[in-house]
Amino acid sequence: MITRRLFARFLLVAVALLYVGAATAQNILWRVRGDSATMYLLGSVHLLRHADFPLDPALDAAYQAADRLVLELDINSANPMATQTLINRIGRIDEGDLADWLGPSDFARAQTLAAELDMDLDRMRPLKPWLAAITVLQVQLARLGFSPDLGVDIHFAERARADGKPVEGLETIEFQLAQFDGLSREEQSAFLMQSLEEAENIPEEIDAMMEAWRRGNAGGLASILEEGFKDYPALYDRLVKDRNANWLPRLLELLDGEDDVLIVVGALHLVGSGSVIDMLQRRGFEAEQL
C-alpha cells in the first residue's frame, strides 16, 4: 500500500521544486578539488519566481570560476518541439484513457478533487497518471508565480550560451521521462491521486524545503528525502541512488581533467546516503560546503 504522502513529497523533492531567499552563510553548493580541476556541485532549483532573483552571490561565483557547465540535461541542445513530441508519445495512453487506468471510483474522486482546484480532469484523459500528476503540480506552482523558465539550470544554461561556455548533459530526456513512465500502474495511480489530494498543501510543503535550502541545511533536505522514501528503498535506488552512480564515472573523469566545472543537478542528488557528495567522499575527495 502506498503511504498517503509518499508521492506528493517525492514529486516536490525529486523535481527539486525549491526556491531561494536572501543570501546565506551556506548553500546547497559544494566545492571538490581534484589534482588539477575544481568541481562545484550545486543543488538545482528547477522553478523560481521573479522575486527570487538575484541568486545568492556564491552561486554566481561558482559559475564564474567554472570553465564548463554540466547539467542533468543539456538544455541548450534540446529541441522544444521534439521534446514535446516525445512527451506526447511516452506520456499518453495507447488504449483507453485515464478513467480506465484509475477505475470508476478513483476517477470520480479525482474529478471531484480536480474541480475543487478549478481544473478540468477530462482534459487530462489522454495522459498517463504520472504525466497528469506533474501537470497538476505545475498548474498549482504556476498559480503561485513559479516558472520553469526561471529555474537555476536554465538561468546558468542561458548564461553559458551567451558566454560561449561549453555545456553538457549527464542524461537524455528519454532517460528522464522513462524514470516516471517506468513506475508501476499502482504507483502511477497513487502518484496522481496524492498530487490532487495534496495540491492545496503545496505552499506548506515547499516552505519546509525552502527553509532548508535558504539555510544551506543539507541535513534538513536529507531528512525530507529519507522520510519520503523510508518504506521504499527500491524506489529510492531507481530514482536517486542508481542515477548518482551512473553519473559518477563522468564526474570522476572531470575531476581528473584540467577544466574547472560547475555541476548543476537536482538538490536531492547531493544530500543524504548514496548522494553524489557521499560517493565522492567515499572515494577520498573532500567536499567543502560553500
Task: Look at phi and psi of residue 122 and say left if phi exceeds 0, alpha if psi is from -120 to 50, else beta.
Answer: alpha
Task: Decide: residue 35, CB within 10 A, 0-12 exposed, 13-18 middle, 19+ buried.
Answer: exposed
As given in the structure block, the three cell numbers for residue 60 are 554566481
pLDDT tens across 67-80, in order? 999 999 998 888 88
In single-letter form, the type of residue at position 221 comes to L
Among the listed residues 276, 151, 153, 140, the one whose alpha carbon sits nearest the alpha carbon of residue 206: 140
pLDDT tens across 208-220, in order? 776 777 778 888 8
Name which residue leads in pLDDT, 131 or 221.
131
What is the model's pLDDT at position 18?
Answer: 36
In a domain, 1, yes or no: no
What is the model's pLDDT at position 3?
Answer: 40
- Give the domain extent around 85: 6-289
pLDDT tens across 29-47, in order? 999 999 999 999 999 767 7
Helices (H) then strands (E): counts for the chain: 14, 6
In a domain, 91, yes or no: yes
pLDDT tens across 248-285, in order? 999 999 999 999 999 999 888 999 889 999 999 999 99
Among the listed residues 251, 249, 228, the one whose alpha carbon sits nearest the alpha carbon of residue 240: 228
- E strand map for the chain: 29-33, 38-44, 68-71, 167-169, 261-266, 287-289
What is the model's pLDDT at position 285?
Answer: 97
What is the model's pLDDT at position 25?
Answer: 53
In a domain, 149, yes or no: yes
In a domain, 87, yes or no: yes
Instruction: Count structural domains, the chain.
Output: 1
In a domain, 100, yes or no: yes
In a domain, 83, yes or no: yes
